[in-house]
């Protein structure tokens, strides 16, 4: 399978049963719906997939299950990040053994490495992990930021193929795109910034919103890539209220709630320390779902 790292990739939720155990049956149905809706790939065990509360055994189990369900119809980019470089390498190697096509790694969190430390972290994972590697810049979760100069260096490391960019700074993203190696892909990690990032040279999105509205999210990237900017803008603005509602509280609280409201998963079960959505935000989320024009 040729990996292009372009288009709409869904950052999959991890469904849980009422007792908090993995609900692999619901996960399989969810992956099937995503593929039928035209997404370009799926990403299990990222932030949206509550990877921070999965055991290593569960982590590998989820990746293997998604790989089996996808059955080479779309690429599977497994979340394998950690604040420990050795652990990130081991998770990446396990994802490769499970059949994943690439690995997405959050920058090391809590220990707040320097730019050189972040560079060395990703370079080591790319060298030893055995999979095409995508760094993930999300300062709001990691307390560290991948600067454009560091990303440009990483874009020239063999095996580092793209970045998920959730820094929320289009000027910095422009600098990243301008300075990175030819062929290096920049994927939006902020759903509402997908269209602006495509306009400055981004290649797609790893999307939370696609869990609840996959066809609609795909429409943005496909319309833009087809050169139909008016259609892409219509799709963007039609989805904007839902994009905003899905981040009223910490991801994935709202998106799991949305999927339960849509009947796509049995319940919005979360693992502590995440808790259920507040009534006020649930009402706002329901209103956004009701207003969404279905493709």
Active site residue 136: yes
What integer pLDDT is reported at residue 1 of this predicted model? 54
Q: Please give the full DSSP string across 88-153, using - where no structure is assigned.
A: HHHHHHHHHHHT-SEEEEEPP-SS---HHHHHHHHHHHHHHH-S-EEEEE-HHHHS----HHHHHH
| pLDDT, tens digit, 9 for 90 and up, residues 162-174 | 999 999 999 999 9
pLDDT at 144: 86
Please check whether residue 174 lies inside any domain of the structure. Answer: yes
Q: pTM here?
A: 0.95
Cβ(79)–Cβ(49) under 8 Å?
Answer: yes
Is 255 within the bounds of a domain? no
- Judge whether 265 lies within some domain: no
DSSP character for 181? P
Catalytic pick from 9, 122, 164, 256? 164
Interstrand relation of 41-43 and 185-188 (parallel, antiparallel or unpaired): unpaired
The boundaries of the domain holding residue 166 are 7-226
Q: How far apart are CA 219 and CA 201, in angstroms?
A: 18
Task: Give the list of residues 6+ apart from residue 263 with CB closer than 8 angstroms, or none.
Answer: none
Nearest to 203, CA basis, from 223, 188, 193? 188
Query: Digits of tens for pLDDT over the chain (295 positions)?
Result: 557 799 999 999 999 999 999 999 999 999 999 999 999 999 999 999 999 999 999 999 999 999 999 999 999 999 999 999 999 999 999 999 999 999 999 999 888 899 999 999 999 999 999 999 999 999 888 888 899 999 999 999 999 999 999 999 999 999 999 999 999 999 999 999 999 999 999 999 999 999 999 999 999 999 999 999 999 999 999 999 999 999 999 999 999 999 999 999 999 999 999 999 999 999 999 999 998 876 5
The string of pLDDT tens digits covering residues 185-234 is: 999 999 999 999 999 999 999 999 999 999 999 999 999 999 999 999 99
Judge whether 231 lies within some domain.
Answer: no
237 is catalytic: no
Comparing CA positions, the residue from 66, 79, 77 lying closest to residue 32 is 66
Among 195, 260, 200, which residue's Cα sits nearest to residue 231? Answer: 195
Catalytic residue among 119, 136, 237, 256: 136
CATH code at position 19: 3.20.20.70
Cα 87 to its chain centre, rounded Å, is 20
Q: Specify the number of domains making up the chain.
A: 1
| pLDDT of amino acid 294 | 62
Angle made by CA atoms 9, 69, 204, in degrees to the nearest 5: 5
Does a structural domain hold residue 250? Answer: no
């Amino acid at each position: 399978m040729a990996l292009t790292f372009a288009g709409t990739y869904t950052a999959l939720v991890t469904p849980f049963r009422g007792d908090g155990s993995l609900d692999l049956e619901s996960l399989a149905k969810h992956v099937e719906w995503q593929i039928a809706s035209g997404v370009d790939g799926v990403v299990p065990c990222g932030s949206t997939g509550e990877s921070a509360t999965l055991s290593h055994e569960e982590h590998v189990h989820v990746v293997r299950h998604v790989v089996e369900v996808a059955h080479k119809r779309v690429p599977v980019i497994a979340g394998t990040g950690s604040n420990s470089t050795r652990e990130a390498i081991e998770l990446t190697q396990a994802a490769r053994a499970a059949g994943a096509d690439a690995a997405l790694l959050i920058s090391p969190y809590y220990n707040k490495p320097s730019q050189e430390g972040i560079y060395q972290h990703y370079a080591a994972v790319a060298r030893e992990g055995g999979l095409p590697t995508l760094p993930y810049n999300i300062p709001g979760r990691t307390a560290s930021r991948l600067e454009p100069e560091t990303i440009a260096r990483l874009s020239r490391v063999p095996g580092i193929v793209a970045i998920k960019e959730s820094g929320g700074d289009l000027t910095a993203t422009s600098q990243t795109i301008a300075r990175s190696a030819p062929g290096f892909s920049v994927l939006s990690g902020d759903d509402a910034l997908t269209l602006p990032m495509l306009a400055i040279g981004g290649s797609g999105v790893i999307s939370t919103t696609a869990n609840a509205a996959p066809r609609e999210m795909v429409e943005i990237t496909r319309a833009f890539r087809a050169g139909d900017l008016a259609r892409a803008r219509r799709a963007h603005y039609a989805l904007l209220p839902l994009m905003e509602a899905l981040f009223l509280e910490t991801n994935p609280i709202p998106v799991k709630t949305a999927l339960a409201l849509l009947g796509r998963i049995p319940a919005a079960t979360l693992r502590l320390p995440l808790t259920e959505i507040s009534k006020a935000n649930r009402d706002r989320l329901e209103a956004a779902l009701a207003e969404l024009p279905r493709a």
